[in-house]
Structure 1
Amino acid sequence: MARILSILVGLFFTVALAWSFGKGAYTQITEPPAATAEKHFHKEPKEYRYASDGPFGRFDKQQLQRGFQVYKEVCSACHSLSHVAFRDLAQLGYSEGQVKTIAAGFQVPGIDPTTGEANMRPGVPTDYFPKPFANDTAARAANNNAIPPDLSLMTKAREGGAPYIASLLTGYTEQEGYRNEHGEELLKEFPDAKTPMGLHFNPYFANLNLAMAPPLSGDGQVEYGPGNPKPTVDQMAQDVSAFLIWTAEPKLEKRKQTGLAVILFLFFATALGYMSYRNVWRNQKH
């Protein structure tokens, strides 16, 4: 009796699941979801190329230094790099003295050794990049009620990676008259899609509007040293996104080198195994 009852219960749930699936599929076909502005006017990231791309890619340290400069002078006012220590910057080609100078330019939380009270002190190479705001409340108050995300792992956390970040930084535009690739005008197709007060229109962002104002306001905002390309908005966006590839995966080059060595070893082991197989069984009749 118990077996029959369990079979009936299982059959009931199977039928209910099949019915729910069929009903959902029928509804999707007969009543497709309403068109949205996000679906019609969202843009895919631009096709940027980086020196670290591909199985043999390596970091362009000069570009990473430019990207760090953009982060330091522009992005660090709102965004943290909580997983990066100042001493890690030596991997970008900075000397020990330069790393100490960079660290000392940041104020980090510390403890007064004489009183035991919390204070702020100049950073040292072993410190990690400090948060720009004391807490989330202060961050929201300064950023239209939005908390700026930490950028340490941003190229891993966002679909599209570095090209998405570079596209976002260069994608701010006027909503009035904005058209998609089919020539459709946003506000004519969706009159209610007007960007709310305090937000900024950017077709590369998922819902087209974000709280962050354009951080790169114009060419030359960051002054590069001699021998570097002109600091256009597009160049600065590419440089800082390349820098964020490194912050998300500083051991990228070593991982690729290890992977290549492993693949070569596997090819060698496979060939050796095949030759051993032929040698062992060469005199055996089938």
Structure 2
Amino acid sequence: MKLDVLSQFSSRAIRFAAMGLMAVVLTACSGMNLFGPPKIKEEPIVPAQTLYQGALDDMDRQYYQTAITKLEKLERQHPRDPLTEKGKLMQVYANYRIGRFDEAILASDRYLALYPSSSEVPYVLWLKGTAYFAQIKDITRDQQLSRDAIDTYNLLINNYPRSEHAVDARDKLLVAYDQLAGKEMSVGRYYQGNGQYAAAINRFREVVERWQTSTHIEEALYRLTETYLLLGLTTEAKSAAAVLGHNYPASDWYKRAFELLGKQGLAPELNSGSWLAGVRA
């Protein structure tokens, strides 16, 4: 009888101990969020003016990354505050200043989509175009960035021709044009060296017709003279040399073209039926 009572007491004690242990385990698991998603810690709300002024102070000290963090928080916590528009503009500039050009381009696109009538649009277009421009590689690389810069600068110039930023955009356009022309020349010389004369002529012609303000125009006209002669198209060769001499009479490229024709008893002469007659200044 006594043994039965002790046995029952021991069983109850074990069950209570097991239940207590389970409660402890569950409490611990609950604290570690093993049975549900982790609790999201709420971000303390900072006044919009405080975030904006803090970002301005950071930018004055050239702490652009910390300024971007504050501006992103301003956008996140106060999406409808008037300061948010200014903050988005500052994000474009700050990303550009630290060389995060892709982020600057994305930030400019967001700003232009949200505030297409803003007085700051010319500036944002200039920043976007210059972010492309800053990434332009040498002429042996793909020139998509040059094309993107040209498109953006032209958008700025065509829509805001009196903007102070349009002046700088025009100057940078010449460099971007030169990049594209240089790429065409590089490919054209390759084709010419491999005996692919028709393909080479197409590249040089592209430079003459599209990139007349580039520094490659004189060589392009000489290469046309040279390549037409290689194909036996003397009339076109003389026309290319004539256009070169008319526009750049003191050019070394013209002297070379003149001598090249002279070796075959030819002289520069523009054929009025040639496509080159249309590009003569």
TM over 0.5: no
TM-score, normalised by the number of residues in structure 2: 0.21
- Structure with the bigger RCO (C-alpha within 8 Å, sep 6+) is 1
Higher share of residues assigned strand:
1
TM-score, normalised by the number of residues in structure 1: 0.20
